[in-house]
């Protein structure tokens, strides 16, 4: 591959092109200039004179990934590279999901908004306190602040119900009291204002899992249908925008579904509803799919947003949670620096207590207890996101005769106390990814839920687009693989269409030159590692990719062999984008 050049015209030759439409792969030359694809021709036929030429022989060429479910609302104000997405070929990201965000924001609500985001999305509060420079009150002012900052990829934002409710209703909104007619009118007006200024949608959370640092539910969790209808009406009047929502899996097909259908029917607004498989009701996803199909037949725009793998917890001594965090022997040393804590846990007397103690705490019972069959020690060089029983702590114990508690604790203490245990939570009730396999093929689902930028100390799924190619297309051994063309289309054009971003997601003349050149055979990702690279030395899991030979955003190369070039062509997206 040639070096980065200032040539205004670029030709990628001999590409194994998967163009994002779902059409069969073909050998082609791709030409772009001024950020726009100008030609896609048979391999070896492009005019090269005066151009920068990249020989992509043996390489996969695809559109840049479009990730519609991220939580960069804070990080976008300080990090131009938006990692991990910037490492994984993402050229467009959408944030402001699940009802949380930072605008509108009254000055006396800054701390509260940070604590809300910290609790719901596990982003270190100290990093946000140091990193966010509050340059706004209103949502349009927030967009203006974002627009002033260069970045490596395009970024769109949604207005979150939590911030909106607190801004309009104050403590009543924060405490989930019912909204009055005047409250609803004010929230609708601000939502309309945000969308007209360029917001891509509105988001809300209805799940009991989403709580602030102080344990309070996200504002809007118990909002009544008239409030949701009033806001959806505002989205409809704006002429664009998705109504995105997270909800409890057991409530979605029952009490929630009635108002979702009613609001969709009355307003015509497009709904994007999170869909995950609950381990306690493993067949419930089928009910939701049937309801989506019925709604589609009735002309309603309701789709499910799904993850490409299990929502899995990474349990380790440096993270937010670990399997021994409720043991008295751990609590005695929990406040020590990491190295000293590891040394103390290895002391014979304390280690022996760890082995025999069984805390009577809900966390222990739910995530450890009798769940060793769902706990998988992570190899220091590799992480398997669809592991077998034999790889679990229970499987190792059966095979070796060792105590599962000893296996767990020894692994946590391995590699100087950096050992990680993978604990699939959602989407793994059958002991494999068969539900994800089915959902990834359904026409009424959309790829999402990577949560890039969030859950910093317990989940690291921002590299989901890379996983979709490596696991589902190339490597899967526990069932059928999925077609490359299908998976590329789902993570490019199909996700772009969700928010009306019709100028991207396909490699074709006239569309944006958002392009990935990928060493498909060598594509991989690192094991997630704890790093302290957020403001105030905030902690997070990071997972880099290997195999991105080049990434182009609007025709400018941002990545060269997995390293940033330093170019920052990314822009703020204001509303849908058309040809």
* Cα distance between residue 118 and residue 121, in whole Å: 6
- The pLDDT of residue 279 is 87
* Cα distance between residue 379 and residue 568, in whole Å: 35
Question: What residue has token string 């995105």?
Answer: 244
Domain ranges of the chain: 66-310+429-456+488-498, 314-424
Average confidence (pLDDT) over 177-181: 97
Element (H, E) at 560: strand 556-560
- The pLDDT of residue 253 is 80
- The pLDDT of residue 299 is 98
Identify whether 84 is preceded by a cis peptide bond (ω within 30 of 0): yes
Average confidence (pLDDT) over 559-577: 98
* Cα distance between residue 53 and residue 37, in whole Å: 14
- The pLDDT of residue 3 is 43
Closest CA to 517 of 5, 6, 57: 57
* 66-310+429-456+488-498 belongs to CATH 3.20.20.140: yes
246: CB partners within 8 A, 6+ apart: 97, 98, 99, 204, 205, 206, 207, 210, 274
- The pLDDT of residue 5 is 44
Kindly report the average pLDDT of the chain as a whole number: 95
Residue 147: is its pLDDT beyond 50?
yes
Tokens of 491: 């993570």
Residue 215: is its pLDDT beyond 90?
no
Question: What residue has token string 């704006």?
Answer: 238
Residue 475 vs residues 65, 172, 463: alpha-carbon distances, Å: 20, 51, 16
* Cα distance between residue 143 and residue 103, in whole Å: 9
Torsion of CA 355, 358, 359, 363, to 10 degrees: 90
Element (H, E) at 549: strand 548-553
* Cα distance between residue 363 and residue 315, in whole Å: 12
pLDDT in tens, 323-382: 999 999 999 999 999 999 999 999 999 999 999 999 988 888 887 888 999 999 999 899
534-572 residues labelled b (16+ CB within 10 A) or e (exposed)? bbeebbbbbbbbebbbbbbbbbbbbbbebebbebbbbbb
Average confidence (pLDDT) over 261-265: 96
Cβ(247)–Cβ(273) under 8 Å?
A: yes
- The pLDDT of residue 2 is 40
Cβ(242)–Cβ(197) under 8 Å?
A: no
CA 509 from chain center: how many Å? 30
Torsion of CA 57, 60, 64, 68, to 10 degrees: -170
Global pTM value: 0.96
Supply the Cα-derived Rg of the chain in whole angstroms.
Answer: 24
478: CB partners within 8 A, 6+ apart: 386, 388, 432, 433
* Cα distance between residue 73 and residue 131, in whole Å: 11
Least confident span in 38-52, 297-311, 391-405 = 38-52
Residue 7: is its pLDDT beyond 70?
no
pLDDT in tens, 46-67: 999 888 999 999 999 999 999 9
Rounded to whole angstroms, the maximal C-alpha distance in the chain is: 74
Closest CA to 244 of 494, 448, 502: 448
Question: What residue has token string 């994800």?
Answer: 436
pLDDT in tens, 515-551: 999 999 999 999 999 999 999 999 999 999 999 999 9
CA angle 110, 112, 117 (to 5 degrees): 95
* Cα distance between residue 306 and residue 89, in whole Å: 19
Residue 289 vs residues 66, 268, 360: alpha-carbon distances, Å: 24, 20, 38
In this structure, the number of other CB atoms found within 10 A of the CB of residue 4 comes to 15
pLDDT in tens, 384-414: 999 999 999 999 999 999 999 999 999 999 9
In this structure, the number of other CB atoms found within 10 A of the CB of residue 14 comes to 18
Closest CA to 232 of 257, 259, 206, 263: 263
Cβ(314)–Cβ(444) under 8 Å?
A: no
Higher pLDDT, 237 or 278: 237
Element (H, E) at 13: strand 9-17
pLDDT in tens, 353-366: 999 999 988 888 88
15: CB partners within 8 A, 6+ apart: 27, 28, 29, 30, 43, 56, 59, 60, 61, 517
In this structure, the number of other CB atoms found within 10 A of the CB of residue 75 comes to 26
Cβ(212)–Cβ(119) under 8 Å?
A: yes
Q: pLDDT confidence of 1, banded at 50, 70, 90? A: very low
Residue 6: is its pLDDT beyond 50?
no
* Cα distance between residue 201 and residue 207, in whole Å: 19
Q: What is the DSSP string of 414-452?
A: HHHHT--EEEEEES-TTSSSHHHHHHTT-TTEEE----B
Identify whether 104 is preceded by a cis peptide bond (ω within 30 of 0): yes
Tokens of 83: 């990692």
Backbone angles phi, psi at 63, to 5 degrees: -65, 160
């Amino acid at each position: 591959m040639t070096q980065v050049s200032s040539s205004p015209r670029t030709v990628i030759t001999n590409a194994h092109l998967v163009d994002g439409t779902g059409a069969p792969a073909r050998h082609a030359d791709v030409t772009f200039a001024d950020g726009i694809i100008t030609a896609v021709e048979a391999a070896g036929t492009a005019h090269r004179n005066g151009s920068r030429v990249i020989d992509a022989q043996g390489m996969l060429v695809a559109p840049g990934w479009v990730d519609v479910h991220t939580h960069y609302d804070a990080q976008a104000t300080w990090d131009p590279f938006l990692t991990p997405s910037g490492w994984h070929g993402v050229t467009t990201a959408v944030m402001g999901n699940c009802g949380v965000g930072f605008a509108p924001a009254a000055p006396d609500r800054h701390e509260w908004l940070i604590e809300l985001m910290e609790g719901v999305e596990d982003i270190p509060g100290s990093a946000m306190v140091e990193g966010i420079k509050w340059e706004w009150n209103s949502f349009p002012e927030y967009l203006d602040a974002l627009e002033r900052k260069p970045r490596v990829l395009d970024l769109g934002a949604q207005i979150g119900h939590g911030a909106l409710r607190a801004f309009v209703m104050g403590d009543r909104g924060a405490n989930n009291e019912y909204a009055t007619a005047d409250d609803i009118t004010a929230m609708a007006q601000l939502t309309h204002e945000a969308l007209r200024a360029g917001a891509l949608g509105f988001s809300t959370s209805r799940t009991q899992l989403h709580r602030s640092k102080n344990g309070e539910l996200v504002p809007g969790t118990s909002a009544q249908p008239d409030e949701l209808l009033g806001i959806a009406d505002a989205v409809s009047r704006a002429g664009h925008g998705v109504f995105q929502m997270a909800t409890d899996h057991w409530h979605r097909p029952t009490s929630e579904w009635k108002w979702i259908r009613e609001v969709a029917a009355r307003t015509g607004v497009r709904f994007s509803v999170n869909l995950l498989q609950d381990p306690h009701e493993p067949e419930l996803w089928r009910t939701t799919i049937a309801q989506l199909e019925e709604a589609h037949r009735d002309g309603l725009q309701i789709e499910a947003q799904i993850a490409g793998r299990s929502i899995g917890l990474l349990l380790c001594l440096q993270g937010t949670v670990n399997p021994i965090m409720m043991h008295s022997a751990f609590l005695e040393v929990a406040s020590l620096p990491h190295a000293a804590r590891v040394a103390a846990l290895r002391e014979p007397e304390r280690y022996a207590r760890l082995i025999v103690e069984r805390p009577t705490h809900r966390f222990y019972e739910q995530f450890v207890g009798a769940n060793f069959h769902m706990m998988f020690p992570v190899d220091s060089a590799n992480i398997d996101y669809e592991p077998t029983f034999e790889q679990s702590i229970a499987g190792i114990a059966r095979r070796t005769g060792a105590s599962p508690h000893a296996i767990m604790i020894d692994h946590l203490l391995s590699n100087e106390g950096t050992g990680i245990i993978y604990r699939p939570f959602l989407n793994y009730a059958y002991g494999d990814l068969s539900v994800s396999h089915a959902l990834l093929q359904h026409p009424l689902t959309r790829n999402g839920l990577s949560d890039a930028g969030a859950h910093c100390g317990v989940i690291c799924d921002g590299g989901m687009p890379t996983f979709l190619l490596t696991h589902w297309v190339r490597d899967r051994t526990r069932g059928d693989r999925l077609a490359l063309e299908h998976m590329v289309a789902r993570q490019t054009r199909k996700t772009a269409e969700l928010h009306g971003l019709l100028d991207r997601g396909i490699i074709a003349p006239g569309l944006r030159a958002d392009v990935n050149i990928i060493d498909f055979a060598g594509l991989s990702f690192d094991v997630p590692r704890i790093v302290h690279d957020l403001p105030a030395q905030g902690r997070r899991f990071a997972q880099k990719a290997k195999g991105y030979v080049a990434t182009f955003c609007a025709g400018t190369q941002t990545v060269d062999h997995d390293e940033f070039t330093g170019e920052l062509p990314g822009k703020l997206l204001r509303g849908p984008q058309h040809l």
